[in-house]
Copies of this chain bind each other. A is one copy, B any other.
Amino acid sequence: MKDSHSKAVVLLSGGLDSSTTLAIALKKGFEVHALTVRYGQRHHAELEASRRIADYFKVAGHKMIDLDLRTFGGSALTAPIEVPKDRSLQEILTDIPITYIPARNTIFLSFALAWAEILGAQDIFIGVNALDYSGYPDCRPKFIKAFEKTANLGTKAGVEGRKFKIHTPLITMTKARIIKKGLELGVDFSLTSTCYDPFQDGAACGRCDACLLRLKGFAEAGLTDPIKYLHEA
């Protein structure tokens, strides 16, 4: 347990993983400051979910920062390219998909670092996962470790000895394990949003990589996902 004055910045997308990560940071006793990056997504379901989760857990602070990654183009999540559907688990877990966003976690962690330094926080939480990780290189432990080193060399706080730590509590968990952990810590998964391509009313597609991994996780945990799907998998 940290003393009650330790602040942490938690990257919160509003999905299952980041919501569970936030609950873990709270459980560890941190005063949580949630950071959501609006990066030119084609939908706003995730942003609304992040607001619901921040409210639900009554976090000390929640900031949304705008970044228009569409300026650079190059990803199905920010540019007008079709989100892939109905891929096999084999494909999902081995290829780097078209939904890959160049340098995404490097950018997100940089923002979290800036805010942490201003808040006087040394702890940053990110819900990356190297197991069900959809092939994203910036979800791997060695990337996180390299970023942590960069953070400590590139900031006034780091140089002055207030070292930053990047916490990745989910990094080796299966999706099923993450879901069980979240439930144990009181996460209401009906508030979360994971789908890459949700319908207007916020219903998940059930067919994109993110939905397929989420549904697989609930199935393996022996649980039913409380969110609404238009195409049940």
Contact = CB atoms under 8 A, between A and B. Distances in A.
B147 A159 contact: no
Interface string A55-95: 00000000101111101111000000000000000000000
Contacts of A105: 154
Total copies of the chain = 2
Q: Taking chain A's interface residues, is the majority helix, strand, or loop, or is none over half, making it mixed? A: helix
Interface residues of A, number: 43
A100 B160 CA distance: 14
A6 interface: no
Contact of A151 (B103, B104, B118): B103
A150 interface: yes
Contacts of A156: 96, 100, 102, 137
Given A102-B114, A106-B155, A137-B155, 13 more contacts: A63-B71, A65-B72, A67-B67, A72-B115, A103-B113, A103-B154, A105-B154, A106-B113, A137-B153, A137-B158, A140-B153, A142-B153, A143-B153
